[in-house]
Homo-oligomer: A and B are copies of this chain.
Amino acid sequence: MTRRIEIVEVGPRDGLQNDPTLLPTEVKLEFVERLIAAGVRRMEAASFVHPKLVPAMADSGEIMERVPRGKGVKYIGLALNERGMRRAIEARCDEINFVMVASEGFGRRNQNASPEETADLLDRIAILAHDAGIPLSATISVAFGDPFEGEVSADVVAELARRAEAAGAVEIALGDTIGVATPWDVRERHDKVREAAPKARLRMHFHNTRNTALANVFAAVEAGVDVIDASAGGIGGCPFAPRATGNVATEDVVYMLERGGYETGIDLDAMIETARWLETEALKHPVQSMLAKAGPFPRPAA
């Protein structure tokens, strides 16, 4: 039996939130429809942070009202605090993803919290999601390096994972927020997190900022990870490196995994088409996708 790797499409949230182009709600909804048509069954679609901080996500409530329901697609909403958690519940998100930070430098600037404070906060508000019957996941951001402090301790990451699991998170993601991870880091952190949080499902969120994202996906899959974040077209910049790319492109991940014999459920051609639509019609600027430029594995002339 072929092993299945689940792709969590983060384009509509992480992909769009820092894009210079502010998409109208209608176009975002078309994006979601195109992703579903390409086979996506789980996606980050909303972020319940203050609209002044992330204007591109101000319509998250409306998005969640209007996305197609009942097609077996799960929509994830992001929350950084109690208010965000309550809004995500009210918006009927299928899952809530809470963001912890693995380093003080980024934590203070991004959400004014230390690593421990984000774990304390999750402890206090997890019950809201549990009461609402909504699965809770936690992303540990800057888990491989911090833009201000450099090295991040793998032990801190493991301790956050332990606390997330204890708070009832059913899935824990390691986020390489600034794209510095190497596959050796992935293997080391995976093993420590697996030991500290033995029950939670593990997910990995890689940025391709330093070209290592697919190496990291490979290392993660080899280590036993079954859930990978990616964004259509590779959209989503990195505010700490203006010329650099962020999320690894979904179609690039799908290409590698499917050529490697894994099943993702995603149609590569349709995903390449979606990346090209983002580039030419929606965002109207080039995207980072390599598959959209190079095309799939060559098919011999008949």
Contact = CB atoms under 8 A, between A and B. Distances in A.
A299 interface: yes
Contacts of A209: 290, 294
A241 to B, nearest CB: 5
Interface in A181-226: 182-185, 208-215, 217-219
Given A218-B183, A260-B182, A260-B184, A241 B293 contact: yes
Contacts of A291: 210-211
A6 interface: no
A215 B219 CA distance: 8
B212 A150 contact: no
Interface in A149-186: 149-150, 178-180, 182-185
11 contacts: A148-B300, A150-B298, A183-B218, A183-B260, A208-B290, A210-B255, A211-B214, A211-B255, A214-B214, A243-B293, A245-B293
Nearest to A294: B244
Contacts of A185: 259-260
A248 B212 CA distance: 11
Contact of A294 (B146, B179, B252): B179
Interface string A286-302: 00001101110111110
A128 interface: no
Given A148-B298, A148-B301, A293-B244, A261 B211 contact: no
Contacts of A233: none
A249 interface: yes
A93 B252 CA distance: 39
Pick the most buried of A149, A238, A291, A298: most chain B CB atoms within 10 A of its CB: A298
A105 B147 CA distance: 47
A27 interface: no
Contacts of A127: none
A211 to B, nearest CB: 4
A150 B290 contact: no
Contact of A215 (B148, B179, B218): B218
A256 interface: yes
Nearest to A241: B294
B146 A211 contact: no
Contacts of A179: 294
A297 B215 contact: no
A145 interface: yes
Interface in A231-258: 238, 241, 243-245, 248-249, 252, 255-256
Contacts of A249: 211
Interface string A75-99: 0000000000000000000000000
Nearest to A259: B182
A218 B146 CA distance: 23
Interface in A268-302: 290-291, 293-295, 297-301
